[in-house]
Amino acid sequence: MIYTITLNPSIDYVMEVEGFEEGTINRASKTNYYPGGKGINVSRVLKRLGADTMALGYAAGFTGNFIKEKLIEEQVAVKLLEVDGHSRINVKLKAGMETEINGTGPLVDDDAVKRLLQQLNQLSSEDIVVLAGSIPSTVPSDIYETLIQKCQQHEAKVVLDTGGQTLKSLLSYKPFFIKPNHHELGDLFGVTIQTQGEVIHYAGKIHEQGVENVVVSMAGEGAILYTRSGVYFAKAPRGEVKNSVGAGDSLVAGFLAGYVKSRTSEEALRYGIASGSATAFSYDLCQKTDVYNLINLVEVEKL
């Protein structure tokens, strides 16, 4: 089973407005509501790719109920814990330039953390746990460390999809998989990375610290995988980019679905790039048919 933990899920309220004008009434030409949050996105894509997944984390109020209902509609197993307050609403305004306004989430107290840790007692060495997103201010700042320690007690693999100081401080726990882009990789070492050779050099330094799979995404240029069997470059297929939201989460989901299916990191990379690209070429998260249409177009080369 692949578990995802989203500490601060959201309703993503997407509004398309033609000719937006500040300070006056604007009418949306199109609106959509989606359950959001990085871990939630990973679970949604995993389910579409046929992988066993369960969404964990927190939900609150009528907005939290909406998130759970939408996940259930998509047949995603969900065990979001109830807390006080309301789950946040993130507004994404598409009007020429894209603007985001992210809401605040509910308060997660010590009791809520204990309940989440209790859920992880069911883990085994066959499981993968995805910790995705930044740590919200309403949650204890060391919660990822606490969750990783619980996962490792049960020998479950840990995936970290976060960045900045949070990621840097957690590398010593030797996660199974991380996915920084080349800018984030450079930030970990205080350098600016511009070439493929530099990506390989610094990804290797992360791998040497015990991270089994390091995937460094380079936007439309593809991605580098540094793993125990070697270094691989995957060239992204060409297409019209319609959506940037969730492409990275889809790459994570595709990589894990591919790994569970093939047990090889090279094939997992192919699935990941196809999934991320399929989302980028869609207006929502990718569908299975879109991913499989792209898989054979992903060129993977061992460097």
Residue 81 forms part of a structural domain: yes
Task: Write the CA distances from 91 to 85, 103, 135, 142, integer angstroms.
Answer: 19, 8, 20, 28
Query: The sheet that has 10-16: what strands, in order across it?
Result: 30-36, 10-16, 88-95, 97-102
pLDDT of amino acid 136:
81
pLDDT of amino acid 219:
67
* Residue-wise DSSP of the chain: -EEEEESS-EEEEEEE-TT--TTS----SEEEEEEESHHHHHHHHHHHTT--EEEEEEE-HHHHHHHHHHHHHTT-EEEEEE-SS--EEEEEEEESEEEEEE-------HHHHHHHHHHGGG--TT-EEEEES---TTS-TTHHHHHHHHHHHTT-EEEEE--HHHHHHHGGG--SEE--BHHHHHHHHT----SHHHHHHHHHHHHHTT-SEEEEE-GGG-EEEEETTEEEEEEPPP------TTHHHHHHHHHHHHHHHH--HHHHHHHHHHHHHHHHTSSSS--HHHHHHHHTT-EEEE-
Residue 237 forms part of a structural domain: yes
pLDDT of amino acid 135:
84
Domain boundary among 111, 129, 159: 159
Residue 166 forms part of a structural domain: no
Residue 170 forms part of a structural domain: no
Average pLDDT over all residues of the chain: 92
Instruction: Tally the domains of the chain.
Output: 2
Rounded CA separation 46/50 (Å): 6
Q: Do residues 112 and 183 share a domain?
A: no
Q: Do residues 2 and 83 share a domain?
A: yes
- Residue 111 annotated among the catalytic residues of the structure: no
Q: Do residues 121 and 187 share a domain?
A: no
Tokens of 210: 């015990």
Q: Do residues 216 and 242 share a domain?
A: yes
Q: Do residues 139 and 35 share a domain?
A: yes
Domain boundary among 159, 187, 207: 159
CATH code of residue 2: 3.40.1190.20
Q: Do residues 221 and 113 share a domain?
A: no
Q: Do residues 4 and 98 share a domain?
A: yes
Q: Do residues 188 and 89 share a domain?
A: no
Range of the domain at 227: 176-303
Residue 164 forms part of a structural domain: no
For a pLDDT cut of 70, what percent of the chain falls above it?
99
Contact 193, 184 (CB under 8 A): no
Q: Do residues 150 and 228 share a domain?
A: no
Residue 201 forms part of a structural domain: yes
Contact 116, 147 (CB under 8 A): yes
Q: Do residues 147 and 268 share a domain?
A: no
- pLDDT tens-place string over residues 58-100: 999 999 999 999 999 999 999 999 999 999 999 989 888 888 9
Q: Do residues 150 and 192 share a domain?
A: no
pLDDT of amino acid 254:
96
Residue 167 forms part of a structural domain: no
Sites in the chain below the pLDDT cut of 50: none
Residue 69 forms part of a structural domain: yes
Catalytic residue (one of 127, 249, 284, 290): 249
Q: Do residues 118 and 4 share a domain?
A: yes
